[in-house]
């Protein structure tokens, strides 16, 4: 808290004003006293007031220290009143300073309580100097105490608001760092899930086909001496199985070799993915990509890239298509990725979820506030539509 006050411009402004006021009062009072002895006496109390005022900053370390500070300062002012009643009007200016300080450092209740005490002390001291019959002439100084009290209260309110804003900013920065950490964890989890999915698919698809090929090869080996024609047929079937297995392997390798680079624009990454896919499968891909996209969070870029991967993979495996179309279209505050083909469409014995891994894509889209839909095209074939909000870039 002390460090907060030290760095507060408003506090230093008040402190400088307080010492300027104290120095002015010291000069006006001390050098206008009639005797040197009285000058030394009053000067010692005025000097003590200035020294104690230097400890004002450190009264926040204990809740009772501000009250002790104000009590000591009030006692010093009353002693100066007693020694030089003819300078009461000058000395009471020190109580104005104390009024502003009380409202700055204490609660509203205790601050006004001390302001009332200071006013009563100044009012009594002034009446002792000018006579109690002139009490109406001393009453207007109440406005001065209220003014300085209001100034101190306003300064305290501004300081509290600044401190609150700093706390909110610190919390916002902490939340931002946590969000970045959560995003990194989500991306790592997505990569891990993708690897596990590829491992399962390679085991199920590639392992099955290789097992069938081995069995067929053993059968062909036994048939060669007696039934060479049938053995040739078995070898041809085995060749087709191995071609399909090779295509699956190439596609899996292409997926593993196509991570979304941090510094690579999404249209460029999707274009490279499509070219790699076309080279690995021989299936033509027609692209519709924007030249530039709004700044997307890494999680959104990765989701769109994975949707493109999943869509192309399922076109190759299940669509029996001769060509495919991939489009990335921003519209308003959302962005849509579509993967379409001219194959046999959905609902022809393929199994919607099994064919396109739609459940995984739907979960990924839902996490980002989007949707994933699969349907048939009017021109024939199927279309996967993956749409998410644009979001805010990292």
Q: Hey, which CATH number is domain 262-394, 3.40.50.300, 3.30.565.10, 3.40.109.10, 3.40.50.720? A: 3.30.565.10
pTM as predicted: 0.43
**One digit per residue, pLDDT tens: the chain, 394 residues?**
444 444 454 566 777 777 888 888 777 777 777 788 788 888 888 888 888 887 777 776 677 888 888 888 888 888 877 777 666 666 777 888 888 778 777 777 788 888 888 877 777 766 665 566 665 655 556 666 667 677 667 767 777 777 788 888 888 888 888 888 887 787 777 777 767 766 766 666 666 667 767 777 887 888 888 888 888 887 888 787 787 777 777 666 666 555 555 567 889 889 988 988 888 778 899 999 998 888 888 888 888 988 998 898 888 878 889 999 999 999 888 999 999 999 988 875 444 444 446 777 888 899 899 999 999 998 889 999 999 998 765 5
Q: Name 394's Cβ contacts closer than 8 Å, sequence gap at least 6.
A: 180, 183, 297, 298
Looking at residue 373, what is its pLDDT?
A: 92
Domain extent listing, the chain: 2-139, 262-394
Q: Please, what is the Cα angle at 103 between 101 and 106, to 5 degrees? A: 95
- Return the DSSP state at 106: S
Q: Name 300's Cβ contacts closer than 8 Å, sequence gap at least 6.
A: 335, 368, 388, 389, 390, 391
Structural contact between residues 94 and 50, judged by C-beta atoms closer than 8 angstroms: no
Q: Where are the alpha helices (DSSP H) in the chain?
A: 2-6, 9-30, 36-53, 65-83, 88-105, 108-130, 135-138, 141-201, 207-223, 228-256, 266-281, 298-314, 352-356, 358-367
For helices 228-256 and 207-223, what crossing angle results, to 10°? 160
Separation of alpha carbons 255 and 280, rounded Å? 11
Looking at residue 360, what is its pLDDT?
A: 77
Torsion of CA 338, 341, 344, 346, to 10 degrees: 0
CA torsion sign, 74 to 77 to 83 to 84?
negative
């Amino acid at each position: 808290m002390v460090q907060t006050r030290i760095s507060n411009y408003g506090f230093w402004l008040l402190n400088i004003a307080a010492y300027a006021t104290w120095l002015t009062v010291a000069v006006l009072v001390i050098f206008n006293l009639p005797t040197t002895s009285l000058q030394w006496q009053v000067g010692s109390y005025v000097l003590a007031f200035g020294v104690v005022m230097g400890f004002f900053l450190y009264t926040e370390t204990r809740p009772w220290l501000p009250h002790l500070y104000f009590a000591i300062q009030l006692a010093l002012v009353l002693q100066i009143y007693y020694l030089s009643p003819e300078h009461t009007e000058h000395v009471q200016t020190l109580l104005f300073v104390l009024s502003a300080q009380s409202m700055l450092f204490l609660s509203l209740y205790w601050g006004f309580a001390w302001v009332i005490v200071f006013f009563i002390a100044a009012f009594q001291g002034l009446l002792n100097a000018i006579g109690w019959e002139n009490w109406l002439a001393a009453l207007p100084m109440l406005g001065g105490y209220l003014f300085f009290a209001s100034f101190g209260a306003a300064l305290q309110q501004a300081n509290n608001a600044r401190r609150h804003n700093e706390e909110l900013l610190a919390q916002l920065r902490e939340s931002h760092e946590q969000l970045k950490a959560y995003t990194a964890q989500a991306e790592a989890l997505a990569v891990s899930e993708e690897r596990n999915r590829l491992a399962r698919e390679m085991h199920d698809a590639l392992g099955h086909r290789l097992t069938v090929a081995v069995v067929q090869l053993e059968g062909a080996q036994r048939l060669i001496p007696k039934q060479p024609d049938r053995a040739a047929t078995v070898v041809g079937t085995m060749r087709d199985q191995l071609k399909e297995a090779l295509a699956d392997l190439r596609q899996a390798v292409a997926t593993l070799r196509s991570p979304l680079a941090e510094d690579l624009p999404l249209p460029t990454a999707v274009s490279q993915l499509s070219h790699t896919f076309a080279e690995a499968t021989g299936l033509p891909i027609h692209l519709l990509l924007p030249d530039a996209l709004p700044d997307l969070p890494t999680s959104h870029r990765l989701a769109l890239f994975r949707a493109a991967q999943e869509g192309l993979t399922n076109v190759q495996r299940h669509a029996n298509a001769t060509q495919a179309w991939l489009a990335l279209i921003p519209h308003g505050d959302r962005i849509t990725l579509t993967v379409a083909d001219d194959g046999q469409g959905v609902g022809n014995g393929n199994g919607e979820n099994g064919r396109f891994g739609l459940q995984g894509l739907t979960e990924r889209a839902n996490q980002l506030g989007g949707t994933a839909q699969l349907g048939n095209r009017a021109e024939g074939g199927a279309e996967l539509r993956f749409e998410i909000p644009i979001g805010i870039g990292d």
